[in-house]
């Protein structure tokens, strides 16, 4: 059973999320928060597996609330679900530690699969945002020093050649199935490699691994 806290300042939106989640046998709603401050407090008290987090809320907004929840060290993961298809919200939310970002016009099944994905340690970003988000993000990176060898970042030092290859295609948005087909590996083997990559690089989830691939310039925008 995956436990969820709903954080949204709109009563009708909270009601809709609750109805959707309670229709599923494997999901349970622990509570509802009406603003970011309440979301942080209730997360500390209830320790949900996932917080469904709105962005624009009175007082403490969803981005700041996400940052506080993640910095507190709880096992809770945050899935931001917002009305606004804006890159700056997605970028800020993911950098704050959210494990996913969806738009509220997503199909109900996409919201449900997103909750399950982040609860299991994976990550999800609305497809319409992914390439725009990463291409915009890479523009903010400082230019590499001329005397720095390619991919010399110490965060990559412990990776094997195979793990570095897999991190590269993760950064390009490849799924485990696509990695399995490209490298002729069983999907279970790919999952093992991904787990080791996350552990060795200190990445919390797949999204953080994608950001790392861009940070270290294993991947560049198309």
pLDDT tens for 178-201 read 889 989 999 899 989 999 999 999
- Please indicate, yes or no, whether residues 22 and 64 belong to a single structural domain of this protein: yes
Residues 193-216, mean pLDDT to the nearest whole number: 85
Specify the pLDDT at position 200. Answer: 94
Specify the pLDDT at position 208. Answer: 79
Is residue 139 situated within a structural domain? no
Average pLDDT score over the chain: 83
Specify the pLDDT at position 137. Answer: 56
Model pTM score: 0.66
- Please indicate, yes or no, whether residues 83 and 12 belong to a single structural domain of this protein: yes
Specify the pLDDT at position 134. Answer: 59
pLDDT of residue 127 exceeding 80, the answer is: no
- Please indicate, yes or no, whether residues 65 and 169 belong to a single structural domain of this protein: no
DSSP sequence for the chain = -EEEEEE-S-HHHHHHHHHHHHTSTTEEEEEEESSHHHHHHHHHHH--SEEEE-S--SSS-HHHHHHHHHHTT-S-EEEEEES---HHHHHHHHHHT-SEEEETTS-HHHHHHHHHHHHTT--EE-HHHHHHHHHHHHTTSPPPPTTSPTT--GGGTT--HHHHHHHHHHHTT--HHHHHHHHT--HHHHHHHHHHHHHHHT-SSHHHHHHHHHHTTSS---
Q: How many domains does the chain have?
A: 2
- Please indicate, yes or no, whether residues 29 and 58 belong to a single structural domain of this protein: yes
Q: Extract the tokens encoding 68.
A: 């506080």
Q: How does pLDDT run across 52-69, given as a tens digit for each residue?
A: 999 889 999 999 999 999
138 pLDDT tier (thresholds 50, 70, 90) = low
């Amino acid at each position: 059973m995956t436990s969820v806290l709903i954080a949204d300042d709109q009563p009708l939106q909270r009601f809709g999320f609750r109805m959707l989640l309670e229709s599923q046998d494997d999901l349970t709603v622990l509570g509802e928060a009406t603003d970011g401050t309440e979301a942080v407090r209730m997360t500390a008290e209830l320790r949900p597996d996932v917080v469904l987090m709105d962005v624009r809320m009175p007082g403490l907004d969803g981005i700041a609330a996400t940052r506080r929840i993640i910095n507190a060290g709880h096992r809770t993961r945050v899935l931001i679900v917002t009305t606004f298809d804006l890159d700056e919200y997605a970028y800020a939310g993911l950098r704050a530690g959210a494990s996913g970002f969806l738009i509220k016009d997503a199909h109900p099944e996409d919201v449900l699969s997103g909750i399950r994905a982040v609860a299991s340690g994976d990550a999800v970003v609305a497809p319409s945002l992914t390439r725009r988000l990463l291409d915009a993000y890479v523009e903010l990176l400082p230019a590499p020093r001329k005397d720095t060898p390619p991919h010399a970042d110490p965060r990559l030092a412990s990776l094997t050649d195979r793990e570095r290859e897999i991190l590269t295609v993760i950064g390009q948005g490849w799924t485990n199935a696509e990695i399995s087909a490209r490298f002729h590996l069983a999907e279970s083997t790919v999952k093992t490699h991904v787990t080791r990559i996350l552990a060795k690089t200190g990445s919390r989830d797949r999204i953080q691994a994608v950001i790392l691939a861009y940070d270290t310039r294993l991947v560049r925008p198309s």
